[in-house]
Chains A and B, each alone.
Chain A
Amino acid sequence: MAKEVFMPKLGMTMETGTIMKWLVQEGEEVTAGDIILEVMTNKINIEVEAYETGTMLKILYEEGEEVPVNQAIAYIGKKGEEVGEFSQPTMNSQLNSQVTEDKKSEEPVTEKKEKNGGKSRATPSARKLAREHDLQLTEIQGTGPNGRIHRKDVKAHIDNQIDTLPSVAYEDLAQKVEHKKDTETFKVTGMRKIIGDRMKQSISQAPHVTLHSEVDMSEAIRLRQQLLPIIEEKIGLRISYTEIILKAVGVTLRDHPMMNATLVNGEIYLNSRIDIGLAVSHSDGLLVPVIQGVDRLGMAQLSEQSKKLARAAREGKLIPNQLQGGTFTVSNLGMYRVDQFTPIINLPETAILGVGQIKERPIGVNSEIVLKPMMSLSLSFDHRTVDGAPAAAFLTQLVDTLEHPANLLV
């Protein structure tokens, strides 16, 4: 019986491959191990070997076509053999795969997707469900006649997606909880919903990478001690580490415009202004008011701005303008016993800095172990916009600035 040649899955993230070149044509003989085609994925060309020996009976996709992984792209079998209709093995429906299995040899491969002008066969109900979940029909494997996508195929696709997320059995848990009558439940609405949607969007759209580093805060602590009375006298407020970190980030960003960029609709904007959002906890969730032109503000002004916005955020008195237009975000959990965490990027910004607590830790200095007030910085960045090295360069300079705050004056 004819065997399928599948689009290979050559990496964890590979979803589709583009057929670059068929090295064997229909009717030609192949031996297991022969290179039969070239596939391109993730900018890399890969040669694909035949697993079967026989005749190339049918090539289903032409050169240049993009095909989902594990999809049959050709058949190899005995010369003159009838090719059965391909059915994608489905993990979800034993019944259906069995039914189509039986039919395989009877229905010849005549039409595939290309015959419908690249359109997917799907029922209205399946289309509606796919629309609601922002799914492309081409991503979904149909189990109906001629590969028609039914509602259950879309559901299975969605379920598979959920399975790959860490929140397995989330719904089951929610159901169990629901059965407990004394449990308080409330709908996900308002700020909770917006945060949820935006975080989900960010994590699904932006490939996150987080870099961690430690800062010796001795000098920054000294600087704060010196500034405390001066600023308190001037504006009546006590300068915090958050503001020193904000200032350091602002000044450092000047030298790293890519870290201050925003990615919108496939275009990267290099922002001339450095407007930094500060994550502030709120009884209903989280707000990120934006402090404008951070690099140009003096420490007193910055403290005043930052504290004013944070208070307005906590009291729910921010105006929409104060929440928009950020080019970078700082999230400080240093007031808690948190050493480090991996923050989620606030799209369309490129990066976010997570700040942990300052804690005395043994550090090797000139072959001696000494205790230093250390603080962890975690920089998450969007790998679509910047790569690891420039992000690392930014983090390095930021650490250096905080360890030698005189840099802030340069």
Chain B
Amino acid sequence: MKTKDMSYSEAIRDAISLKMHEDEDVFMLGEDIGVYGGAFGVSRGLIEEFGPKRIRNTPISESGIAGAAVGSALTGMRPILELQFSDFITIATDQIINQAAKIRYMYGGKGKVPMVLRTPSGSGTGAAAQHSQSLEVWMAHIPGLKVVQPSSSYDAKGLLISAIEDDNPVIFYEHKLLYGMKEPVPEELYRIPLGKAAIKREGTDVTVIATSIMVHKALEAAKQLEREGIEIEVIDPRTLVPLDEETIIASVSKTSRVVIVHEAVKRAGFGAEIASVIVESDAFDFLDAPIERLGGKAVPIPYNPELEKHAVPQVSDIINAVKRTLQRGEEV
């Protein structure tokens, strides 16, 4: 398989392009996605490749974009809509929650809504409180939606292709700080199934379940902990819905200790769901320390760059949490 170094945004663009060539029902809509290339340049070049009929610029109305996507999906199209910032999903939620997520159920499967909503989330860019949130758990709560959070170029491409091919609405959360990260990605079309976690690093001592940008922080923590002889296993669920419980439970049964880390606010965050899955499972009997949950502080993301960092978990937080589960280090 021929590979090419691709950034996260290039991998996403590649997935869209490959699917649009393969399937003429696939098209894109969103604000400034044409010549401007979207808020983060993900769709740059696509309008030249596919023309304005398939790369559709829309008015500034998230509700309108989502409604148009649901409608076109119901008529047999496979829309990919882009919201400039995931914070703006608030405006589109009626279309997503009360229409996209419900229609297939309410009509007994006679209609379906095969759409993908792509949107960047997360802090770290100095975009302040209204452009930096991580709200994925809202969507994960709604039956009828699938929720994807890729952490790497390779995962983003394979998962987006699966999401486009899925007959259900998929909310695809990209992280702003990941767009520039590069890694070798196969040039051809490939799929990563929704609902299959990735073991990003194997380890024996503590299972660290991390999502999105936190996967990279966990891997950095792993490097530092390795020097102290602590081997952590880093698991990236990749999709919150469906969740690969099996991989998580198997890992926890092996290591007996868990740290869950996400950028989203800890309170009522997805970490609570993962922790519950673990204690409700067979892995309960293998737990040898309280589960550690790391998440954002319960504050709006600050504009001040230093405060912004402190609002979300950092590498040192992960290291300390890992050590707490092992009863080692300063914070014991």
**Chain A residues packing against B (C-beta within 8 Å):** 95-96, 99, 103, 123-128, 143-145, 150-152
Contact = CB atoms under 8 A, between A and B. Distances in A.
Contacts of A125: 256, 285-288
Nearest to A124: B287
B332 interface: yes
Contacts, number: 35
B332 A99 contact: yes
A145 B256 contact: no
Given A124-B284, A126-B288, A151 B256 contact: yes
A99 B323 CA distance: 13
Interface in B273-332: 284-289, 327-328, 332
Nearest to B284: A124
A151 B328 contact: no
Contact of A123 (B287, B328, B332): B287
Contacts of A128: 285-286
B288 A151 contact: yes
B332 A145 contact: yes
B328 A95 contact: yes
B287 A96 contact: no
Question: Which of A124, A128, A150, A151 is most buried by chain B, counting CB atoms within 10 A of its CB?
Answer: A124
Nearest to A154: B288
A126 B288 CA distance: 7
A95 B328 CA distance: 8
A316 to B, nearest CB: 40
A143 B286 CA distance: 18
Interface of B: 256, 284-289, 327-328, 332
Nearest to B285: A128
Contacts of B289: 123, 144, 150
Closest 6 CB pairs of A and B: A125-B288, A128-B285, A123-B288, A151-B288, A124-B287, A125-B286
A296 to B, nearest CB: 54
A25 to B, nearest CB: 35
Nearest to A152: B288
B16 to A, nearest CB: 46
B253 to A, nearest CB: 10
Contacts of A127: 285
B328 A124 contact: no
Given A125-B256, A151-B256, A99 B285 contact: no
Contact of B327 (A124, A126, A144): A144
Contacts of B327: 96, 99, 143-145, 150
A127 B286 CA distance: 9
B286 A124 contact: yes
Contacts of A126: 288
A96 B289 CA distance: 15
Contacts of A95: 328
5 contacts: A123-B288, A124-B288, A125-B256, A125-B286, A150-B327
Given A125-B286, A143-B327, 4 more contacts: A99-B327, A123-B288, A124-B287, A128-B285
Contact of A150 (B284, B288, B328): B288
Contacts of B285: 124-125, 127-128
A324 B289 CA distance: 47
A120 B83 CA distance: 53
A143 B289 CA distance: 12
B205 to A, nearest CB: 12
A123 B285 CA distance: 8
B287 A99 contact: no
A152 B285 CA distance: 14
B141 to A, nearest CB: 28
Contacts of A124: 284-288
Contacts of B328: 95, 99
A8 B288 CA distance: 31
